[in-house]
Amino acid sequence: MSDEHKKESAAAEKKAPLHGLLAEYETPWQLLEAAKKVRDAKYERWDTFTPFPIHGIERAMGIRMTALPWFVLAAGLTGLTTAILLQWWTNAVDYPWIVSGKPFWSIAANVPIMFELTVLFSGITTLVGMLMLNGLPLPSHPLDLKERFARATNDRFFLLIQASDPKFDEVRTRALLDETRPVVLDEVLEDRVTSDRMPRGIIYAIIVLATAGAIPLALAAKARFTKSRDTRLHIIQDMDAQPKYKAQRQNPVFADLRAHRPDVEGTVAVGELRDDDHFYTGKVNGDYARTFPSQVALTDATMERGRERFGIYCAPCHGLAGDGDGMIAKRAEYLASTGRGRGMGWVPPTNLNQDYLRQQPVGQLFESITNGVRNMPAYGPQISTEDRWAIVMYLRALQHKSAAK
């Protein structure tokens, strides 16, 4: 503070009305005793100022318990409710998403975040509530003009009775404080020096920052409600551009310009050679084979395998005995003769025990299974080659059985 400024403020202080009387003590216990006297004298607008909390000052001053814990409790419950609603709504209602078979909503999995949000809300409320109940932040106070008062945050203990107190009487209050034997008893004047207005610089800074802060929001709002032909601004390219050619694209390196290179002629994948016509196609020199290939042994095991596969793939339509009366055929017939399906066309599955099928070479039966016949689909992709031969073997057995009847 410059000297000129000091004089000015001193002149201003002279004119200022009294704010209160300030007593200074050297030790906390002197202050405690003084506080009890002021309390007993029934003053209302007074306070003590100490560098650290004094044990027992609440009782000496008659301070009532603060309501802060109730605010914190309310905030904690709000946090808990927020966590429950947030997790339930996002994970069980708005975007249910199956993860590891866990239920969308269960208390156990959601406890940690309930706990964290309860603590978070309570903690923030504790600090903010403490500051608000204490009337902080408080930029200026008449006591700030007292140079001596700076020791309130260091090593001295102060008691202030405000002039606005209904019981305040300059003479009698001074006498009361004198009795408590303070080191110094002093008048505090109202602050007429410090401007009540916020400094211009701060106001401008707030305006500029608020305006600047609104720009991104405005741009986001504009983007939401307008259309644009420009491509999206893509600051971070992630893996959008990769130095590689995709299938179906052009690649100038090759004469045919195909990026996806065809296999070299004669390429055979491992296990895909299939150079045994009899086994894989059921044909020998272009005619249907009348014998089973050497890979298929006429054993109980093969027959049992064929029975099993026949039951899975063939019996639903052709029936367990191959008579063309499987469950699907029966159901279709029933629907075609009654109710909704009446009059609809239905090609029944073939009765496999007809003569012309009995006389067909096994190679032809094999080929029918592999590639399908009429509206029977191809089973080649579903049933392995060995299993198809096993089915043919079992079918031949069924046909022999029905012929013997």
Partner 1 sequence: MDAPRHDNPFALAPRGDNPFAKITDNIARIAEAERPPRAWYIAFGVSLALLTLFLGSLGYVAWVGIGAWGNMMPVAWAFPIVNFVFWIGIGHAGTLISAILFLLRQNWRTAINRFAEAMTIFAVVCAAIFPGVHIGRPWLPYYMVPIPNQMEMWPQFRSPLEWDIFAVSTYGTISILFWYMGMIPDFATFRDRSKTTIRRLAYGLLAMGWRGSSRQWHRYERAYLLLAALATPLVLSVHSVVSFDFATAQLPGWHTTIFPPYFVAGAIFGGFAMVVTLAVPARQLFGLKRIITLDHLELMNKVLIATGLLVGYAYGMEFFIAWYSGSMYEGFTFVNRLFGPYAWAYWTMIFCNVLAPQLHWFKKIRRNPWATLAIGVVINVGMWFERFVIICTSLARDFLPSSWHYYVPTALDYMTLGGSFGLFFTLFLLFCRYLPMVAMAEVKAFHPSVLAHAHASGHAAHSHGEIRN
Site for partner 1 in 8-27 (CB under 8 A): 26-27
| Nearer to partner 1 (CB atom), residue 4 or residue 238 | 238
Instruction: Tell me which stretch binds partner 1 (CB under 8 A): 12-20, 150-158, 319-327, 328-336.
Output: 150-158
| Nearer to partner 1 (CB atom), residue 4 or residue 94 | 94
Spatial separation of the C-alpha atoms in residues 221 and 223, rounded to whole Å: 5
Please report, to the nearest 10 degrees, the dihedral formed by the alpha carbons of residues 209, 210, 216, 222 taken in order. -150
Rounded to a whole number of angstroms, the minimum distance from the CB of residue 170 to partner 1 is 23
| Nearer to partner 1 (CB atom), residue 151 or residue 192 | 151
Cβ atoms of 345 and 318 closer than 8 Å: no
Q: How many CA atoms lie within 13 A of 93 on its CB side?
A: 7
Considering only 22, 145, 152, 391, the residue that binds partner 1 (CB under 8 A) is 152
Rounded to a whole number of angstroms, the minimum distance from the CB of residue 55 to partner 1 is 4
Site string for partner 1, 164-203 (x = CB under 8 A): ----------------------------------------
| Nearer to partner 1 (CB atom), residue 33 or residue 323 | 33
Site string for partner 1, 128-147 (x = CB under 8 A): -xxx-xx-xxxxxx-x----
Instruction: Tell me which stretch binds partner 1 (CB under 8 A): 7-15, 96-104, 248-256, 277-285.
Output: 96-104
Neighbours of 391 (CB within 10 A): 25
| Nearer to partner 1 (CB atom), residue 117 or residue 177 | 117
Rounded to a whole number of angstroms, the minimum distance from the CB of residue 52 to partner 1 is 4
Spatial separation of the C-alpha atoms in residues 174 and 170, rounded to whole Å: 6
Cβ atoms of 398 and 322 closer than 8 Å: yes
| Nearer to partner 1 (CB atom), residue 99 or residue 269 | 99
Neighbours of 61 (CB within 10 A): 20
Concatenated DSSP letters of 78-135 = HHHHHHHHHHHIIIIIIS----TT--SS-HHHHHHHHHHHHHHHHHHHHHHHHHHHTT
| Nearer to partner 1 (CB atom), residue 91 or residue 368 | 91
Spatial separation of the C-alpha atoms in residues 83 and 86, rounded to whole Å: 5
**Which parts of 99-118 interact with partner 1 (CB under 8 A)?**
99-100, 102, 109-110, 112-113, 115-117
**Which parts of 221-260 interact with partner 1 (CB under 8 A)?**
236, 238
Spatial separation of the C-alpha atoms in residues 139 and 48, rounded to whole Å: 19
**Which parts of 31-90 interact with partner 1 (CB under 8 A)?**
32-33, 35, 47-58, 61, 63, 65-66, 68-69, 72, 86-87, 90
Rounded to a whole number of angstroms, the minimum distance from the CB of residue 210 to partner 1 is 19
Alpha helices in 310-384 (DSSP H): 315-318, 327-337, 355-358, 362-371
Spatial separation of the C-alpha atoms in residues 76 and 119, rounded to whole Å: 6
Rounded to a whole number of angstroms, the minimum distance from the CB of residue 272 to partner 1 is 26
Rounded to a whole number of angstroms, the minimum distance from the CB of residue 145 to partner 1 is 12
> Computed over its alpha carbons, how large is the radius of gyration of the chain?
48
Rounded to a whole number of angstroms, the minimum distance from the CB of residue 222 to partner 1 is 16
Backbone φ and ψ of 189, nearest 5° = -95, 155
Cβ atoms of 180 and 33 closer than 8 Å: yes
| Nearer to partner 1 (CB atom), residue 56 or residue 372 | 56
| Nearer to partner 1 (CB atom), residue 236 or residue 344 | 236
Rounded to a whole number of angstroms, the minimum distance from the CB of residue 269 to partner 1 is 23
Sequence-ordered list of residues with C-beta below 8 angstroms from that of 36, at least 6 positions apart, any chain: 60
Concatenated DSSP letters of 227-271 = --SSPPP-SS-TTSS-SSPPTTSB-TTSTT-BSSPPPPTT---TT
Rounded to a whole number of angstroms, the minimum distance from the CB of residue 135 to partner 1 is 8
